[in-house]
Structure 1
Amino acid sequence: MSIEVIKPGLLTSLQDAGRRGYAQLGLGRAGAVDEPSMQLANALVGNAGDEAVLEITLAGPTLRFQQDAVVALTGGLIEGRVEGQALPAWTSCFLPAGSVLRLGGMRHGCRSYLAVRGGFDCTPVLGSRSTDLHAGVGPLQGKAVQAGDMLAIGEHAAAPWFQSTQGMQALRWGLDPQPWLDYERAPLALLRGHHADALDEASQRALFSQRFMLSKDSNRTGCRLDGAPLQLRQSLELISEATLPGTLQLPPSGQPILLLAEAPVTGGYPRIGQLAAVDLPRLAQRRPGDTVSFRETTLDEALQRLGEREAALRRLLQRIEQRLESA
């Protein structure tokens, strides 16, 4: 059972929760940039939670399903159609064999996630089915999905909440995307980094007061933030130090770079901040041209917010499982 890629979309790749524990080899974690959306997509099709999904950026692919399939779309709000019929997002949908799913442009957000019951069946690399596009590691030789690719689907039982028919079906209930999408674009929580005090006084104020614009040069490695340049008091002689998703670096241009899922494991630029992990999915859904601003936070607050988000996510995942079982 497989899915044929007719058109690949702007940037579509296979992702799971990431490849963790290989920093000593110089390999970052990769994985879904908006992990809660990935988990919710998997839950809506009845997957265990970490099966590979398709991460779709700004404009989606066209896919032909060779066999019956149960799918779910979460993350950024994207237009989906099957034989002229709208595919609802944030719910579970049944597609009969031969269906062609056309995913268009994204109305809100930057990244959507398409899960299929059984997950995308590709060979794990170092324990993960994630594609690291920067390092060229993972499924499809570490490359984005291309036209003509055949994406296998893992073995799975039929979804008892759907009856096989000749047409598309969708559950009568779905999830509210608003708690998981950044509609208000409020300031992102940032901890001061190791080199924050090396900024001059004006730049220290500007870091938490000005609005930056997300550059078109941003990608899964990092977001380039355009704005009034930030300046150091004096040049620093640095050796490379550890970095991770959420690290805010300051290159010589004075335009900060906020690292994302494919962050390198070390970097030589001053580290002026660290984004609270709970706000990484919010950053992931900002698109080129959107504004980004920061508010200062503490480690205690960042950990508390992350714990609250994870608890809410666990409750929702359990509720989805219960509703599917009772459908």
Structure 2
Amino acid sequence: MIEIIASGPLNTVQDLGRRGYRNIGVATAGAMDPVALRVGNLMLGNADNCAAIEIQTFPFKVRFTRTLAIALTGADCKARLDGQPMLPWWACTVQAGQELELSFPKGGARGYLCVSGGIDVPVLMGSRSTSLRGNFGGHEGRTLTAGDTLAVLDGPLPALPAGGFGVTPPGQALREHFPVDDDGALLLRAIPAGEYALFQADAERFWAQSWKISAQSNRTGYRLSGLAIQPETVVEMRSYGLVPGIVQVPPAGEPIIQMSDANTAGGYPKIAGIIEVDLWRLGQAAIGSKIRLVKADTQDAIAAEQALEGYVQGVGRMLQALALR
């Protein structure tokens, strides 16, 4: 069991999401940084879809009531285990009674606490993820609060090296494939979408300017602050299906990027779609940080996907080597 000692709002149980139900209005949900979740589970020998705790408000503190293996991935949340510093992207064994505390990140927005076996909450529509908008899934369909207890699925403990081990974070290992601009803006590749032609007068500004992630942002969507963009012709559109990554432009002209809890349908004109393989980076972008959209095509998306999968496979090979010692 895991006892929640302290937790801010919006910390939830998440896996890789609820697939195949958007046609009936059920959002995917799932981890905002799926790479961190996949790698954390890989480090523990879990299936990559095992449920973990996504932490985005701090401080967050838990007590373990039995021996477990854990992995911390995602943002560097200055973790301390029984008061001793614990490195990010690190896996180790914890004993009953030990306490783990996470603080406001040095960089990034969300940390992930993965446990051997995965968090044991009910599977609903094929997923253990929390749907905050639907008030179901995860732990009672809500955010975690002090006093909650989470069960852990039974399974053998992985044979971790004494003291634990770490992996190189993907942002560091794949810097050339997932770059940051000289001014610190996150560069996100996007492909022009259905109504792109309506924005020809402002299209160059859409790509050229830096956008700031507004405080009016959450797991459903990130609203971008900057010089507004407008279509040359106002059109009345029927609602259409949405997926994470779609960039819509409401009448005020400040784009909205659909995120993990994306609406299943909408009617604002869509100017672009951020490639799926870049969304984990956006999930780690904090409120107030800057992004810049880079025009891309399917070949760019395939190359980035191959680089990311190569990194994940490399982590797997390292773990196999550790197991042979």
Conserved 8 A contact 1:12-1:60: no
Q: What is the CA-CA distance between 1:59 and the residue it aligns to?
A: 2.6
The number of residue pairs the alignment matches comes to 317
Partner Cα separation in structure 2 for residue 107 and residue 180 of structure 1: 19
Q: What is the CA-CA distance between 1:10 and the residue it aligns to?
A: 4.3
SS in 1 for 2:316: helix
Conserved 8 A contact 2:7-2:57: no
Normalising by structure 2, report the TM-score: 0.93
Amino acid corresponding to residue 198 of structure 1 in structure 2: L
Identity %: 32
Amino acid corresponding to residue 321 of structure 1 in structure 2: L
CA RMSD of aligned residues (A): 1.7
SS in 1 for 2:107: strand
Alignment of 1:291-310 (within 5 A): 291-310=290-309
Alignment of 1:114-125 (within 5 A): 114-125=113-124
Q: Deviations over 1:204-253 (max 9, x none)?
A: 11110011100112111111100011111121100001110000000111
The 3 A distance-change label for structure 1 pair 288 and 186 is closer
Conserved 8 A contact 2:110-2:284: yes
Partner Cα separation in structure 1 for residue 130 and residue 308 of structure 2: 26
Q: What is the CA-CA distance between 1:129 and the residue it aligns to?
A: 0.6
Alignment of 1:196-235 (within 5 A): 196-201=196-201, 203-235=202-234
Q: Higher mean Cα deviation, 248-257 or 90-99?
A: 90-99
Amino acid corresponding to residue 148 of structure 1 in structure 2: G
Where does residue 27 of structure 1 map in the other structure? Answer: 26
Q: What is the CA-CA distance between 1:133 and the residue it aligns to?
A: 1.3
Conserved 8 A contact 1:37-1:180: no
Amino acid corresponding to residue 189 of structure 1 in structure 2: R
Alignment of 1:159-308 (within 5 A): 159-161=158-160, 170-171=163-164, 173-177=165-169, 178-179=172-173, 184=180, 185-201=185-201, 203-308=202-307
- Runs of 4+ in structure 1 deviating by more than 3 angstroms, as ranges, are 180-183
Partner Cα separation in structure 1 for residue 215 and residue 321 of structure 2: 41
SS in 2 for 1:110: coil
Normalising by structure 1, report the TM-score: 0.92
Gapped runs of 5+ residues in structure 2? none
Q: Deviations over 1:263-312 (max 9, x none)?
A: 11111111111001111111111101101111101123212322332233
Partner Cα separation in structure 2 for residue 144 and residue 180 of structure 1: 32
Gapped runs of 5+ residues in structure 1? 163-168
Amino acid corresponding to residue 167 of structure 2 in structure 1: L
Where does residue 139 of structure 2 map in the other structure? Answer: 140
Q: What is the CA-CA distance between 1:69 and the residue it aligns to?
A: 1.5
Conserved 8 A contact 1:245-1:259: yes
The 3 A distance-change label for structure 1 pair 248 and 180 is same
